[in-house]
Structure 1
Amino acid sequence: MDVQWYPGQMAKAKRLLRENLKLVDAVIEVLDARIPHSSKNPDIRDLLARRPVVGVLTRLDLADPSATAEWVKKLHSDYFAVTAVNANSGDGVKKLLQLLKGLPQRRKHGQRPIRLIVVGIPNVGKSSLINRLTKRSAAATGDKPGITKGKQWVRVNEGLEILDTPGMLWPKITSERQAFGLATAGAVKDEILDPVQMGVELVGFMQNEYAQRFAERYKLEQAEGDPRHILNEIGRRRGCLVKGGEVDLEAAARLVVKDFREGRLGRITLEKAGESYDEDEVLPDDHR
């Protein structure tokens, strides 16, 4: 598996962060509630250590509510404060604004608004969150990793200003599980994983964690069995066929992944707060 996907514009994101941290009082790190562990950026932890960091779980409407609650509890030890929001509906935004009002301001900046920087890996909803906080379309939004470019100050209210920055992610993904979560959630380009492999892994996950709703979605008599065979059956039922009536597994895989990303499989979280992520299988050097 080749995961050497690092886009050119991401290479300078870390340098920009160093420069921008000099301008702000605190940091909002945006995490995808479906993959809270994998969407944390370990590269920036040391850089952020000198500023209070608020962790914000987004994609709340797509994530399992009980799993999100567990992650908020677990992440409290890593942040100044943690909360979860739905940037589309506005759920949780009022609570976030209250948390931000309580942030300490550096003394030398006197009475000016508290200034924040928003950081996070691509496509976790940074721009959507800013748009919701500022109540206007302040930053470019979209479905593709890396759509927010450059930087801009945006006003939240009289007491808060936000500097939006491009998302950041390390150039080498270090475990199979991390690669699966990031690719399936759409945080990295689809090309880093074989689409059939991604589809088979997602089917296997759904069999283990959300079997009933998965069977209901695709009208399967049962969700048990070899994930590849199940994916093949889904492809047959959904008309993902090529000449001769053979199932197009890649088309079937893309269909299942698309259903996950758009919430058609229900509210799903790919990572559990109670699991250990310290012993993930490390990818060989030639696959990073």
Structure 2
Amino acid sequence: MAIQWFPGHMTSARKKAAETMEFIDVVIEVLDARLPEASHNPMIEELRLFRQRPCLKILNKADLADPAATQAWLNFYNKQPGVKAVALSCKKPGDAAKVTGLCQSLAPHRGTNLKPLRMMIMGIPNVGKSTLMNALLNKRVAKVGDEPAVTKNQQRIDLSDKACITDTPGMMWPKIKYDSDGFMLAASHAIGRNAVIDEEVATFLGDLLLKRYPALLAGRYKFAVEGMDGVDVIESVAKKRGYRMKGGDLDLEKAAITLLTDYRSGTLGRISLETPETRSEMLAAAQPAPAEAPEETPEADE
């Protein structure tokens, strides 16, 4: 199932972001630490490279992600020119307080009364941009919710006489190229539920957890995972929790939502859905096989 989700206001959000980019010094791109590349909007990269702006990549929700995978992603991003990456939890004021200084290091010529540091927060929906904005200001100025596309308008706020920040709406891109990215985004609640089928997303998540974190599944739900697939996981959750519909059939939708909620909240444990290695393997597998050259037919003797 290919998942696409692109609410109408995102077109105008992209246009406004492109206009604002001309007048900022550093792009703060907020990513979900559990799926950094799947939660990276290629349009943001396109806009900032066009304006030649450096980027602070914040791997948010790092407290929910696998620490080893997060470190691998930091190593991956910090090798890129004009990029600094850091793992944070934007809900922690102490973590958020580091952001301005990190941006200052990317634009050392700014940050005075005459030339204040101008930053812009960007990212896909529901990765924590508004939470970061509120933490930076130590007050609630941006609406926060556990639903994608809560912020719909751009806003600029002065942090001090020497720094200002612009918050932008979450922006998806029109076509998600890889199905697995769509499923990871849906599992992590970056895509609205109206665009997905919970059971299909939970089946994908179950398959991934069986492959990489079987012990966490077994520990949470108290069932043996050997020989299971994603569908079996959902059925077993329903049986263990006693989820039944009228007539006695298993309530698979309720079980799917339970699995997704336990992953999203961190109840299952610290889980990363991708690593640089698995990302590279996925991209290699998605490439079409090279066409074989046609065999030469020997010419007949004259």
Q: What TM-score do the two structures reach when normalised by structure 1?
A: 0.91
CA–CA separation in structure 1 for the residues paired with 2:226 and 2:198: 20
Q: CA deviation at 1:90?
A: 3.3
- The amino acid that maps onto 1:115 is R
1:1-288 alignment, distance < 5 Å:
1=1, 3-49=3-49, 50-78=52-80, 79-90=82-93, 92-104=95-107, 111-275=114-278, 276=280, 277-279=282-284, 281=286
Q: SS where residue 83 of structure 1 aligns?
A: strand
CA–CA separation in structure 2 for the residues paired with 1:230 and 1:36: 26
Q: Which residue of 2 aligns with 1:286?
A: none
Q: CA deviation at 1:280?
A: 5.5
- The amino acid that maps onto 2:47 is L
* Conserved? CA contact 1:176–1:281, under 8 Å: no
Q: SS where residue 184 of structure 2 aligns?
A: helix
Q: Percentage identity across aligned positions?
A: 36
Change (3 A) 1:137 1:213: same
* Conserved? CA contact 1:185–1:261, under 8 Å: yes
1:227-257, CA deviations, whole angstroms, 9 ceiling, x for partnerless residues? 2123111111112211222101111111100
CA–CA separation in structure 1 for the residues paired with 2:93 and 2:213: 27
CA–CA separation in structure 1 for the residues paired with 2:216 and 2:94: 25
After alignment, is 87-96 or 156-165 more displaced?
Answer: 87-96
After alignment, is 89-98 or 51-60 more displaced?
Answer: 89-98
Q: SS where residue 278 of structure 1 aligns?
A: helix
* Conserved? CA contact 1:31–1:120, under 8 Å: yes
CA–CA separation in structure 2 for the residues paired with 1:278 and 1:44: 20
After alignment, is 237-246 or 175-184 more displaced?
Answer: 237-246
Instruction: Pick the structure with greater CA Rg.
Output: 2
CA–CA separation in structure 1 for the residues paired with 2:53 and 2:104: 15
> CA-atom RMSD, angstroms?
2.0
* Conserved? CA contact 2:203–2:234, under 8 Å: yes
CA–CA separation in structure 2 for the residues paired with 1:146 and 1:94: 25
* Conserved? CA contact 1:223–1:230, under 8 Å: no
* Conserved? CA contact 1:25–1:106, under 8 Å: no
- The amino acid that maps onto 2:91 is N
Residue segments in structure 1 that go unaligned for 5+ positions in a row: 283-288
Q: SS where residue 279 of structure 1 aligns?
A: helix
- The amino acid that maps onto 1:253 is A
- The amino acid that maps onto 2:84 is A
Residue segments in structure 2 that go unaligned for 5+ positions in a row: 288-302
CA–CA separation in structure 2 for the residues paired with 1:225 and 1:185: 22
Q: CA deviation at 1:105?
A: 6.0
Structure number with higher relative contact order (C-alpha < 8 Å, ≥ 6 residues apart): 1
CA–CA separation in structure 2 for the residues paired with 1:225 and 1:173: 29
Change (3 A) 1:278 1:204: closer
Number of equivalences: 281
Change (3 A) 1:118 1:72: same
CA–CA separation in structure 2 for the residues paired with 1:212 and 1:146: 34
Change (3 A) 1:259 1:116: same
CA–CA separation in structure 2 for the residues paired with 1:151 and 1:189: 20
- The amino acid that maps onto 2:243 is C
Q: Which residue of 2 aligns with 1:285?
A: none
Q: CA deviation at 1:112?
A: 3.1
After alignment, is 30-39 or 87-96 more displaced?
Answer: 87-96
Q: SS where residue 277 of structure 2 aligns?
A: coil
* Conserved? CA contact 1:118–1:126, under 8 Å: yes
CA–CA separation in structure 2 for the residues paired with 1:200 and 1:281: 21
Q: SS where residue 233 of structure 1 aligns?
A: helix
